[in-house]
Amino acid sequence: MYLSGKGIKRDTIRQLDLLFPETIGDRNDLRHLVNDLARCSIFTARNKRHPRRTFVHEKLYHFNDHISILYTGIELRAEDDELVWLQIINYGKGVPFGTPFEFSIKDLVRGVNWSKSGRNYDRARECISRLKASEVLALNAKSYGTTGAISLIQNYTALNDSMGKPTQYRVWIDPNMIVLFAGNTFTSHCWEIYRDLSPVARRLADHIESHSYPYPLALVKFWQICGSSDANMTSWRQTVKRACAEVVGAKIVDVAWLNKDNQICCTRN
C-alpha cells in the first residue's frame, strides 16, 4: 500500500536506494537495519563462550508489545551475523529486489573490518550459512493482511577454491524484505563507527538510533533485547555503563547514563 500510494511498481524497485533516495542516494558510508530487528533480540550479545541456541518458531523479545517476531534457526549474534547481514544488504542495494548480486569472501571480510585470515573467512562463511538457514515471521497486532516468513538471505550459490571453500558468492534477497523497509521503518548507521562498537554497545546503538527521541530504557528490557546470558545484575550494570561510554565516545549521543531507577537515558546529538 505504501509503494502503490507513491506510484511505484514493485518489480522496478531497487533494494534500498529507490525507496528513499532523498536520505540515502548513492551514499556508501551508511548501513541500514530494519527497526523491528533493531528493537528485538534477533541479534544477541551473549558471551561467545556460550554455545549458540537453536530456535524453532520461538517468539523473540521485542521492545514494542504489539510486534511479534517468531524465529526459527541458529542463534544470530551482534558480534558477527549482524555485521555480515548489513554488509550483504549494502552490496545488493542497487539491484531490483529478487535479482542476485555477487561479492567475494575477501571483500566481505574487509567490509566488516575483520583482519585478513583464514579463520575470519570461515567465520564469514558460517554467518552466511546461518543467515540463509533463518526464518523470520514478523507480526503486527495493529495491522492486517497476508503474512509470510522470510529468510534473511533467501538463497545463494558459490564458486569454490581448490580446497572446496567458497570464495565468490551470488546471493538472492527475498523480495518480501521490502515490506520491512517500506515507509522509512529502518535505521541508518554510520558504518565505520558502528562496526567497531562492542556487541552490547552496537545493540544499544540499534535501539537509540531507531528512535528519533529515545525514551528511558529499563535495564532489564535492554538485557532482553541483548539476549544476554549475564544473570548478575551488578555485572550487567557495569557492562551497560561501558556501552553507554562507547556510544558517547562514538558521538552517537551527547550523553548516556544509568539513572537511579535502573533506566538507560540519553540525549541524541
In this predicted model, what pLDDT tens digit does every residue of 76-117 receive, in sequence order? 999 999 999 999 999 988 787 778 999 999 999 999 999 999
Identify whether residues 153 and 231 lie together within a single domain. Answer: no
Q: What is the largest CA-CA distance in the chain?
A: 59
Could you tell me the pLDDT band of residue 213, with boundaries at 50, 70 and 90? confident
Identify whether residues 130 and 202 lie together within a single domain. Answer: no
Residue-averaged pLDDT of the chain: 88
In which domain, by residue range, is 61 found? 2-183
* Res. 258: pLDDT tops 70: yes
- The answer to whether residues 61 and 36 touch, using CB atoms and an 8 Å cutoff, is no
Report the number of distinct structural domains present in the chain.
Answer: 2
In a domain, 67, yes or no: yes
* Res. 25: pLDDT tops 70: no
In a domain, 188, yes or no: no
- For 41-74, write each residue's pLDDT tens digit: 999 999 888 999 999 999 999 999 988 999 999 9
Q: β-pairing, 76-77 with 155-160?
A: unpaired
Q: What is the distance in angstroms between the CA of the first residue and the CA of the last residue of the chain?
A: 34
Name the residue type at position 254. D
Identify whether residues 62 and 133 lie together within a single domain. Answer: yes
Identify the three-state secondary structure at position 233: helix
Q: In terms of pLDDT, which residue wins out, 241 or 34?
A: 241
The predicted pLDDT at position 139 comes to: 86
Identify whether residues 132 and 11 lie together within a single domain. Answer: yes
The predicted pLDDT at position 18 comes to: 44
Percentage above 90 pLDDT, the chain:
65
Identify whether residues 211 and 80 lie together within a single domain. Answer: no
Identify whether residues 162 and 227 lie together within a single domain. Answer: no
In a domain, 192, yes or no: no
- The answer to whether residues 160 and 167 touch, using CB atoms and an 8 Å cutoff, is yes
* Cell 565516545 -> residue: 249
For the stretch 173-190, what's the b/e string if a residue is b when 16 or more beta carbons lie within 10 angstroms of its beta carbon?
Answer: bbbebbbbbbeeebbbbe
- CA–chain centroid gap for 26, Å, is 21
The predicted pLDDT at position 21 comes to: 53
In a domain, 206, yes or no: yes
In a domain, 209, yes or no: yes
In a domain, 61, yes or no: yes
* Res. 15: pLDDT tops 80: no
* Res. 146: pLDDT tops 60: no
Cα(183)–Cα(127) distance, integer angstroms = 28
Identify whether residues 129 and 229 lie together within a single domain. Answer: no
Run of H or E including 207: helix 199-209
| 50's grid cell | 556460550
The predicted pLDDT at position 205 comes to: 97
Residue 263 makes CB contacts below 8 A (sequence gap 6+) with 216, 217, 218, 219
The predicted pLDDT at position 191 comes to: 96
Backbone angles phi, psi at 155, to 5 degrees: -165, 160
Could you tell me the pLDDT band of residue 144, with boundaries at 50, 70 and 90? low
Identify whether residues 39 and 110 lie together within a single domain. Answer: yes
Chosen domain end from 124, 148, 183: 183
Identify whether residues 102 and 218 lie together within a single domain. Answer: no
The predicted pLDDT at position 149 comes to: 87
> Taking residues 188-206, what's their average pLDDT?
96
In a domain, 9, yes or no: yes
Chosen domain end from 183, 216, 248: 183
CATH classification at residue 207: 3.30.1370
In a domain, 190, yes or no: no
Identify whether residues 16 and 138 lie together within a single domain. Answer: yes
> Taking residues 191-197, what's their average pLDDT?
96
The 10 Å Cβ neighbour count of residue 206 is 24
- The answer to whether residues 130 and 120 touch, using CB atoms and an 8 Å cutoff, is no
The predicted pLDDT at position 178 comes to: 74
> Taking residues 119-139, what's their average pLDDT?
96
Identify whether residues 118 and 220 lie together within a single domain. Answer: no
Identify whether residues 166 and 215 lie together within a single domain. Answer: no
